[in-house]
Structure 1
């Protein structure tokens, strides 16, 4: 199979028929073998019934329905496992991404031997309350990851199948898939300017909390990518540094007291000096950080329950 088109959705029943017809038309015009894989992320509207009706007219339609809303990352992770195409295209269900971009994404991914092509919505139809925070996150992600993409959060992306079969997506990390892929060893990452269309139906499902969660997930990705296999290098180095600083301060204070005793001059008791308590805290903190690193080395990072989701129905 040439292409798997993965579409996570939540309450998008109005846009699904038009989107499916559009994708099918593009695929047939270019003679692609394909599947359209919908992941219903616990929709409360008529989305699943619409998908079941679409399956009758479009045999390429496949679908997975979550029993409750888990989030876009969970939907993508399950779809990545179920996809069968040589190339996987992700796009949003709200008709803001254009299926007409698919042939060029497919061509470039194969001919330029890229692992990922990320869409860049250079001209956006979003409110300023969304565009400004997005620009700040993109700048921070570029700085921390070293990946020179303009739009990490664009839902329209193309992947080689072995990329999506290797990586794991959870939490709010779908916007950082290029970063996860880079840490997994897939470094051939390209970008393509894509059309961003104004929303035709419904309203956006993302609130302000996604920016806070996104920033925390960025820190998590950075830490796991750099120190996930060697946590002692992070906690241990900080612990040793803190312990050494505390020890040096304590020795200095003790040495100062011994000097004054030898010179028979007045001095303050060790426990009367603020530096003593700072040194004590630094030594204790250093010991705790070192032990944290040691314990982290003994604990596997991947919990077996991390990506277990309750799937209510499937059309495969």
Structure 2
């Protein structure tokens, strides 16, 4: 690994009530940075902890100039923690590392090597005796089939070029879709196997089976965004045309009943009015969405310039 990659990275560590783990975490980080001669910056983001996580992090790293400790006043979530660190980052590469020590800091150099080989994003594939939660298995299975991303685990340790975050809008809890959104914007993705360990202390924040419900809803939102955000008229326009044509077909049927069979059927008239009205509304929504998409693209282009 080149000296540039050894220093040109930010290690982001979101932490929420991780007080019991911090001493071991900092000890292992110091050992890894010393062993591999790493000199990147480390940003702890205390996400509204109630157990003095931030205070302990400051105490344990008081003599380590490369470390920053940032705080949220309340628990905002992992996505917001990553974005907070992004605003403070001064390096060209970023690594997301959970504070629970379920991944070893020894993996950090492997991710940097993969970035040096040319990958825009490197994500870890968890292996080992420790089994992933049921929710994570379902999520990864669905994601791989819906989004066609060439990785098997989206909820693991990852490294990427920091600039990628500038062009991707991450909503609440969308950190898990970061790889998906970046891949569909043309960034290259690679995967390496990393060992997953059981927690040494504390409790997992992501073990509830009920998380699958909002995860699937978010997945639908991301799918819609990827497919239709640039050309929303494809969805609204196609739907509108189908409804309008259906209305014309029902109108023809109503005329046939009225003038050929001399049988009036008023509900058909109401159905025609409904189909035509909704159809033209959908076309109108599509045109408005097209204008919004155009403004959005121009805004992002101006930000990048």
- Which string of whole-angstrom CA distances, capped at 9 and with x for unpartnered residues, describes residues 144-183 of structure 1? 21112111111x1111222233323221211111111123
Q: What is the match of residue 235 of structure 1?
A: 236
State the alpha-carbon separation in 1 of the partners of residues 287 and 129 from structure 2: 47
Deviation for aligned residue 1:43: 0.8
Deviation for aligned residue 1:209: 4.0
Q: What is the match of residue 200 of structure 2?
A: 200
Secondary structure of the structure 1 residue equivalent to 2:163: helix
Query: Does residue 94 of structure 1 match 2:100?
Result: yes
CA RMSD of aligned residues (A): 2.1
Query: Does residue 248 of structure 1 match 2:249?
Result: yes
Of structures 1 and 2, the one with the larger relative CO (CA 8 A, separation 6+) is: 1
State the alpha-carbon separation in 2 of the partners of residues 98 and 281 from structure 1: 60
- Which string of whole-angstrom CA distances, capped at 9 and with x for unpartnered residues, describes residues 53-112 of structure 1? 12313221112111111111111122223222232111111111111111111111212x
If the length of structure 2 is used for normalisation, what is the TM-score? 0.87
Q: What is the match of residue 147 of structure 2?
A: 145
Alignment length, in residue pairs?
Answer: 289
- Which string of whole-angstrom CA distances, capped at 9 and with x for unpartnered residues, describes residues 4-39 of structure 1? 111111110111222122122212211222111111
Alignment gaps of 5+ in structure 2 = 1-6, 300-305
Query: Does residue 286 of structure 1 match 2:279?
Result: yes
Q: What is the match of residue 84 of structure 2?
A: 78
Q: What is the match of residue 311 of structure 1?
A: none
Deviation for aligned residue 1:276: 4.6
Residue number among 14, 27, 30 corresponding to 1:24 in the alignment: 30
State the alpha-carbon separation in 2 of the partners of residues 280 and 101 from structure 1: 63
Q: What is the match of residue 58 of structure 1?
A: 64
Q: Is the 8 A contact 2:128 2:197 kept in 1?
A: no
Alignment gaps of 5+ in structure 1 = 262-266, 305-316
Secondary structure of the structure 2 residue equivalent to 1:18: helix
If the length of structure 1 is used for normalisation, what is the TM-score? 0.84
Q: Is the 8 A contact 1:80 1:165 kept in 2?
A: no
State the alpha-carbon separation in 1 of the partners of residues 126 and 271 from structure 2: 51
Deviation for aligned residue 1:189: 0.5
Q: What is the match of residue 115 of structure 1?
A: 120
Q: Is the 8 A contact 2:257 2:265 kept in 1?
A: no
